[in-house]
Amino acid sequence: MYRDLERVSARYGAVTAPEILPHNPLCPDIVTGRVNLPGLELIFLLPLTYPATPPVVLVTADGHDTEQIATGVWRLDLPPDERLLHALEPFLEAGAEPYHKAFGPMGGPALTSDSNRAEIAGWQPIYTGRDPAVAAETIRQGLFARSTGILANSLTDRRVLVVGAGSGGGHTAEQLVRSGVGGIVLIDPDEVEPANLSRTVYNAADTGRTKVRALARRLLSINPLLDLTLYPADVRDLNTNTLLELISRTDLVMAATDDLQAQRLLGHASYAQGKPMIAGGLYAGARGGEIILSVPERTACYHCATRARSQAETTVGEVSRTTDYGTGRLVGEMALGVDIQHVAGASVKMALALLLAGRSEARLATFLESQIAAGATYAVFSMSEDFWFFPRIFDHVPGQYAWQCVWMHVERQADCPVCGDPAGRMDPRQVVPRPPKIEDILSAMGGSDSTASVNQSMEATF
Ligand SMILES: [Zn+2]
């Protein structure tokens, strides 16, 4: 028994020899041992059945209350003199500094001293003799180890607003973080459901959690130092001033909602704030997808791009998805996760290019220059052969099957309330982000039939 306490003392650098404390007559079957580490006292309540059964372990870090370590698995298959050390391993981390309370993933290193961050990440307490920030920084630096020359460490200072944490938004946020982007703001109102697991970044343990919390947990496991802000809300329910303020503090907006009005609101707000936006989505049946790029004052806006799509649909046939008139959101589409990732992956590469453009020598910094200079800001992807207008373009070109991409030129419309002539632009605060219900308007109008007024209100939402 005493030898085991000596082993603990040696492993974790005790300053004095372990002690067996005087018997407590109220607990005759318990032997109490104490190990003093720098900054940390460990009390072991050892039952007479020890080491067949585990002890209770109490820890007191300097300046903190006493806590019990949940000793986890007590491995009876190990030799008796190894069991205590093994049980302590996940909760005690040896180091050169005085021990203090930090947090980290089960079986991993301590990565933060911030209990709020640990709670979001789902990390457990670890008493460590190291600085958790050093381990976290090592992990963050590792994110750039395989992208030197293509990306740049300056991505650490970039902040991206990701709206929509479903299949597209989840993959987008994860790849941005894996690429080294240092700050993510997430907005999504939904919870993870079992149906989401087939094509998102979530797993069974996430079901019932809000998507922003589940995604935050995943992102912190990739970059423990990630600057995170979470809004478990519908972006259309945010105060427009709040949204504009959020956008002003980010470098790029990724619009990945399944709600066209939300996409338009984001397109308008980001353009007004002078921030680029990338909007990705899939077409009906996931036979194709699109990415719309918008760089304020250099390209047309999201609104002009979708207007161009509508015009194309009148001549070449419809590809857009249908809208659920009850919720205003797009009807859930049967789609393969890989097809969603195909579009999400392309949008991430564009996002990284925009984040680096003009600020870095990295190879990806100029990736979008020719498209932006040409005003070709609308990329259409095919997931199937002979998609939409593609046969008209690629007719007689050999070797053209699925996974083609066409960049379409988008004109800025002079009368566009977002990117048109400055005098005619509309302030996003003047736009109703969510159309009022017809009953509410009728009741506000005194119950009269006022179709004209309803149409006017709807128009303000674009
Ligand atoms: Zn426009």
Q: What is the DSSP string of 112-150?
A: BS-HHHHHHHT-EEEEESS-HHHHHHHHHHHTTTT-BTT
Enter the tokens of residue 269. Answer: 């707000």
What global pTM score does this model have? 0.89
The rounded Å distance from CA 155 to ligand 1 centre is 29
The rounded Å distance from CA 184 to ligand 1 centre is 26
Question: According to the model, what pLDDT value does residue 184 have?
Answer: 98
Is 147 inside a domain boundary? no
The DSSP letter of residue 235 is: G
The rounded Å distance from CA 269 to ligand 1 centre is 12
The rounded Å distance from CA 311 to ligand 1 centre is 14
CATH code, domain carrying 198: 3.40.50.720
346 and 443 within one domain: no
Is 334 inside a domain boundary? yes
Q: How far is CA 400 from CA 307, 340, 394, 395, in A?
A: 28, 21, 7, 9
User: 138, 168, 189: which is the final residue of a domain?
Assistant: 138
The rounded Å distance from CA 312 to ligand 1 centre is 17
User: Where does the pLDDT of residue 450 fall: very low under 50, low under 70, confident under 90, or very high at 90 and above?
Assistant: very low
Is 286 inside a domain boundary? yes
* Percent of the chain predicted with pLDDT > 90: 74
Question: According to the model, what pLDDT value does residue 115 have?
Answer: 95
209 and 308 within one domain: yes
The rounded Å distance from CA 412 to ligand 1 centre is 5
Amino acid at position 368, single letter: L
Is 354 inside a domain boundary? yes
Mean pLDDT to the nearest integer, 379-408: 91
Out of 356-365, 391-400, 427-436, 447-456, pick the least confident: 447-456
User: 138, 173, 202: which is the final residue of a domain?
Assistant: 138
The rounded Å distance from CA 243 to ligand 1 centre is 20
215 and 118 within one domain: no
Condensed to tens digits (0 to 9), the pLDDT of residues 126-173 reads 999 999 999 999 999 999 999 989 999 999 999 999 999 999 999 999
Q: Which residue has the tokens 């797993």?
A: 203
Q: Tell whether the model's pLDDT for residue 459 goes beyond 50.
A: no
CB proximity list for 440: less than 8 A, separation 6 or greater? none
User: 138, 164, 179: which is the final residue of a domain?
Assistant: 138
User: Where does the pLDDT of residue 453 fall: very low under 50, low under 70, confident under 90, or very high at 90 and above?
Assistant: very low
Output the CA torsion 115→119→169→339 (10° steps): 130
272 and 200 within one domain: yes
Distance CA 64, CA 144 (A): 37
58 and 188 within one domain: no
The rounded Å distance from CA 160 to ligand 1 centre is 22
Is 144 inside a domain boundary? no
Question: According to the model, what pLDDT value does residue 458 have?
Answer: 30
Question: According to the model, what pLDDT value does residue 449 have?
Answer: 42
Is the backbone peptide bond immediately before 428 cis, with ω within 30 degrees of 0?
A: no
116 and 172 within one domain: no
The rounded Å distance from CA 458 to ligand 1 centre is 18
CA 3 to chain centre: 48
Enter the tokens of residue 133. Answer: 């920030």
The rounded Å distance from CA 426 to ligand 1 centre is 11
Question: According to the model, what pLDDT value does residue 448 have?
Answer: 43
The rounded Å distance from CA 415 to ligand 1 centre is 8
Distance CA 308, CA 407 (A): 13
Question: According to the model, what pLDDT value does residue 317 have?
Answer: 80
The rounded Å distance from CA 307 to ligand 1 centre is 9
Q: Which residue has the tokens 């909007």?
A: 279
**409 lies in which domain range?**
153-422
- Residues 12, 129: contact at Cβ < 8 Å? yes
DSSP 167-194: HHHHHHHHHHHHTT--EEEEE---B--G
The rounded Å distance from CA 240 to ligand 1 centre is 19
Question: According to the model, what pLDDT value does residue 319 have?
Answer: 78
Cα 225-227-229 angle, rounded to 5 deg:
140
More confident site: 443 or 73 = 73
Is 143 inside a domain boundary? no
Question: According to the model, what pLDDT value does residue 140 have?
Answer: 95
Condensed to tens digits (0 to 9), the pLDDT of residues 50-96 reads 999 999 999 999 988 999 987 678 999 999 999 999 999 999 999 98
Q: Tell whether the model's pLDDT for residue 412 goes beyond 50.
A: yes
34 and 8 within one domain: yes
The DSSP letter of residue 10 is: H
The rounded Å distance from CA 270 to ligand 1 centre is 12
Closest CA to 215 of 186, 239, 190, 244: 186
Q: How far is CA 211 from CA 62, 218, 260, 281, 379, in A?
A: 37, 11, 20, 19, 28
Closest CA to 282 of 243, 339, 242, 241: 339
Evaluated on CA atoms 361, 367, 368, 370, the torsion sign reads: positive
* Percent of the chain predicted with pLDDT > 70: 91
The rounded Å distance from CA 135 to ligand 1 centre is 46
More confident site: 313 or 361 = 361
Query: What residues are paired with 282 via a beta bridge?
Result: 289
159 and 111 within one domain: no
Residues, CB within 5 angstroms of ligand 1 (ion) = 301, 303-304, 416, 418-419
Question: According to the model, what pLDDT value does residue 432 have?
Answer: 66
- Residues 93, 11: contact at Cβ < 8 Å? no
The rounded Å distance from CA 410 to ligand 1 centre is 9
The rounded Å distance from CA 434 to ligand 1 centre is 20
- Residues 105, 121: contact at Cβ < 8 Å? yes
Query: What residues are paired with 159 via a beta bridge?
Result: 183
451 and 362 within one domain: no
Is 333 inside a domain boundary? yes
Question: According to the model, what pLDDT value does residue 113 have?
Answer: 96
The DSSP letter of residue 283 is: -
Out of 62-71, 247-256, 266-275, pick the least confident: 62-71
Condensed to tens digits (0 to 9), the pLDDT of residues 308-359 reads 777 778 877 877 777 666 666 776 677 888 999 999 999 999 999 999 999 8
Mean pLDDT to the nearest integer, 257-265: 91
- Residues 90, 59: contact at Cβ < 8 Å? no
Per the structure, how many domains does the chain have? 3
The rounded Å distance from CA 310 to ligand 1 centre is 14
Q: How far is CA 49 from CA 1, 31, 71, 243, in A?
A: 11, 11, 16, 61
95 and 235 within one domain: no
Question: According to the model, what pLDDT value does residue 455 have?
Answer: 31
Is 146 inside a domain boundary? no
Condensed to tens digits (0 to 9), the pLDDT of residues 175-199 reads 999 999 999 999 999 999 999 998 8
The rounded Å distance from CA 349 to ligand 1 centre is 24
- Residues 253, 270: contact at Cβ < 8 Å? yes
User: Would you tell me how many other CB atoms lie within 10 Å of the CB of residue 181?
Assistant: 29
133 and 62 within one domain: yes
User: Where does the pLDDT of residue 454 fall: very low under 50, low under 70, confident under 90, or very high at 90 and above?
Assistant: very low
- Residues 158, 251: contact at Cβ < 8 Å? yes
404 and 330 within one domain: yes
State whether residue 395 is helix, strand or coil.
coil
Q: Tell whether the model's pLDDT for residue 435 goes beyond 80.
A: no
The rounded Å distance from CA 105 to ligand 1 centre is 46
